[in-house]
Amino acid sequence: MATYVDEVSAQTGTDPLPLPTQDPFYDAPADLDGMRPGEIIRSRQVELKDYWASHHRSAARQLLYRSTDLNDTPGVAATTVVLPRKRARDGEFQLLSFQCAIDAVTSQCFPSYALRKGADSSKTIAPFEFLVVRRALAKGWAVSIPDHEGMLGAWGAPREPGYRTLDGIRAALAVDDHELSAETPIGLWGYSGGGMATSWAAEMAAEYAPELNIIGAVLGSPVGDMASALMRLNGGFHAGLPVMAIEGLRRVYPELDRVIVDHATDSGRRHLAEIAAMPTLDALRRFKSHDIDDYLDIPLADVLARPEIVEMMNDLQLGTHAPTIPLLVVQAVHDEVISVDDIDGQVDRYRDQGAAVTYVRDQLSEHYSLLPLSGPLAVSWLAHRLEGRPHRNRTVTAVAGQRAPRWPKRLVAGRTSSGMAVDDGDDASAA
């Protein structure tokens, strides 16, 4: 267990809260190369915002720790560890690592900033997702919320979101006053961009952090195929997402950066620089219907056909490593952002390698409603893993969002407290 003194205190007064890229708390130490993955560099107590009716008043501490990027180079990352007001009993207590859908390049969207009192985070996603995280806190679980993109904001990069998530868990377990032992059961959960980060954590865990007692992972709409998503969303309502991903990926793939330097038009360079500083919701509004073809002086198809870009796209593919922990995958069939076909493919790749996956394909929800609707199911499924209940490798159909009196009789037994029913004749608890 680590012992240390907080090096930076919580913000006081009325000064604007500095972004992580401007905050000395996030500075890497000179001896970073000699530190272990997950080793704590510094910590601070922070106050979190109270969102709407979420008067949680939970104690929170932020940890800066040593982690690793996709090329195994040391770097720093931060996590926000939130403690429940009333801890669950022994045998019912666990640590949940919740990976937010950061989905941006700017550090304004990092959870360690966006969740803090005084932060300018109205156009970020983390505050909305924290309302779902409260379900875990209400069960008496501690929650770690990592900045899984790292300090570069390399959204979409492979492997390293998993490394930073796992190292954030290591850091959380190493804090004396949290009273989390090394044997603490750990659950993983994330949705959309956070589901993608959770997928990487599940895939990397066995090799990168085999000592962690991870009991299961919930992958909500976890992207599945980044290359497919980039192409499908380009030019449409959510075109800001692929533009942000390109700006993030060029920071960790020199070959992509060379293409941008050599072939981006003046307007293309301006747009990429603009979106790098934008929070997620502003970027989606500003870049609606943008076509990346218009950013280049050569066709996008020619760029994607280059061997080095093909290699990069293959590197982004989820499902190339078999998780050794049980998985719950939740996806809306009519999702307007993430294609259900891409999630079907990710699940198939996991199963082909022997992974155990409960796959819930929801018929009535869409991308933005499925997270809150599936929240109770996710927490219940993790609680069942904590209790040691058997896990099934199966695909089931769910129907979300209906009121109880409207449920067909054949679905009532499978309905969960979220209003999500499992249409396969089994009780939802069997998941």
Rounded Cα gap, residues 108 and 19, in angstroms: 6
Whole-angstrom distance between the N-terminal and C-terminal Cα of the chain? 35
Q: DSSP alpha helices (H): ranges in 12-121? A: 111-114
Residue linked to tokens 């913000």: 11
- C-beta separation of 303 from 260 below 8 A: no
Residue linked to tokens 């926000």: 80
Query: Buried (b) or exposed (e) across 115-147, using 16+ Cβ within 10 A?
Result: bbebbebebbbbbbbbbbbbbbbebbbbbbbbb
- C-beta separation of 57 from 71 below 8 A: no
Rounded Cα gap, residues 283 and 18, in angstroms: 21
**CB burial of residue 35 (10 Å; 0-12, 13-18, 19+):** middle
Q: How many residues comprise the chain?
A: 431
User: Which structure tokens are listed for 255?
Assistant: 């070959």
Residue linked to tokens 């995958």: 329
- C-beta separation of 247 from 105 below 8 A: yes
List Cβ neighbours of 257 (8 Å cut-off, separation of 6 or more).
250, 251
- Known active-site residue 335: yes
User: Which structure tokens are listed for 120?
Assistant: 């300018």
Rounded Cα gap, residues 310 and 304, in angstroms: 6
DSSP 3-state of 214: strand
Residue linked to tokens 């699940």: 347
Pairing of strands 60-68, 40-46: antiparallel
- Known active-site residue 367: yes
Query: Buried (b) or exposed (e) across 81-108, using 16+ Cβ within 10 A?
Result: bbbbeeebeeeebbbbbbbbbbbbbbbb
Residue linked to tokens 């891409």: 342
- Known active-site residue 43: no
- The catalytic position among 335, 342, 362, 380 is 335
- The catalytic position among 112, 121, 192, 199 is 192
- The catalytic position among 367, 384, 391, 418 is 367
Give catalytic residue positions: 192, 335, 367
